Each structure stands twice: as C-alpha cells, then as structure tokens.
Amino acid sequence: MKSVIQAWQLWALGSAAFAALTAIFGKIGVAGISSDLATFIRTIVILVLIAAIVQAKGAWQPFDAISRQTWVFLVLSGLATGASWLCYYRALQLADASRVAPIDKLSVVLVAVFGVLFLGEKLNWQNWLGVAFIAAGTVLVAMR
C-alpha cells in the first residue's frame, strides 16, 4: 500500500515550515540593521550549517570531478538565490512579513511557467487552475 504522504512531500512541507520561520525570524532580525548586512549574516550561518552537514554525511567530492555544466548552473542558482535573499530582506524592512511572504511565493507560479518554457514540463488544466489560484490567493493575501 502506498503511503499517503511520500518522502518528497514531507521534505516539501518542511521547506514550507522553515520558509515561514525564515520570514518571521528575518522580519525581527532585520530591524535596526542594513538588509544587506542581515543577508550576509544569514548566508554565513547557512554556509557553516551546510558545510557541517556535507562533512557529517561524508558527501565531499573533488571539485574537478564536477562537470562544467553543473558548475555553471549551480553558480547561476547561487546568484539567483543571493539576489532573491537581498530582495526578500529589503522587502521585509519595508513591509509586513504577512504581505512580503505571499508575494515571494509567487515563485511557485513562476516555477510552473518556467518549468514549461525551459524544462519542457507538462501541466494539465487542473495544474494550471491551481497555478491561477495560487496567483489570485497571493494577490488577495498581500492586499491591505
């Protein structure tokens, strides 16, 4: 019998819960300091945490064994993450977390669109309806 919640779904729910805490902790933490400095501190914490996890799992591998394509796309992903975080923390300085976080989650809509355009993923009409609901819900939550 198939489990009701698969492993990837549990990880995704964990991601959502930690993203919610990121907004709350970030909103409190960014008060009184530059949003860029706040992002820098956050990045150092993440770097140390991930390095410890990679070390504990024994997941290090020679960097020269990693393909050029992998390097290019991981660097691009890192740059996009950094830009996202810089924008996110600046938005948290300027507005309520309950307004910033939903707009940030428009990334779900953009991932669906980009997945279709750039990765050749297929979405059926129910998927597109869900994407439309996410977009509409984002607008409704962010309005005041």
What per-residue confidence (pLDDT) applies to 2? 64
Residue 65 DSSP label: G
Please state, in angstroms and rounded to a whole number, the distance separating the CA atoms of residues 29 and 119. 37
79 assigned to some structural domain: yes
141 assigned to some structural domain: no
Residue 62 DSSP label: -
Instruction: Please name which of 73, 99, 85 lies closest in space to residue 36, comparing C-alpha atoms.
Output: 85
Residues near 71 by beta carbon (within 8 Å), at least 6 away in sequence:
none
Residue 67 DSSP label: -
Please state, in angstroms and rounded to a whole number, the distance separating the CA atoms of residues 83 and 89. 10
142 assigned to some structural domain: no
Q: Is residue 38 a contact partner of residue 29, using CB atoms and an 8 Å limit?
A: yes
137 assigned to some structural domain: no
Segments forming the whole domain that contains residue 38: 7-104
Reading the chain (144 residues) residue by residue, the pLDDT tens digits are 567 778 888 988 999 899 999 999 999 999 999 999 999 999 999 999 999 999 999 999 999 999 999 999 999 999 999 999 999 999 999 999 999 998 998 999 999 999 999 999 999 999 999 999 999 998 898 887
99-127 exposure pattern, b = at least 16 Cβ within 10 A, e = fewer: bbbbebbeeebeebeeeeeeeeeeeeeee
40 assigned to some structural domain: yes
Q: How many domains does the chain have?
A: 1
144 assigned to some structural domain: no
85 assigned to some structural domain: yes
DSSP string, 100-121: HHHHHTTHHHHHHHHHHHHH--
Please state, in angstroms and rounded to a whole number, the distance separating the CA atoms of residues 137 and 133. 6
What per-residue confidence (pLDDT) applies to 5? 74
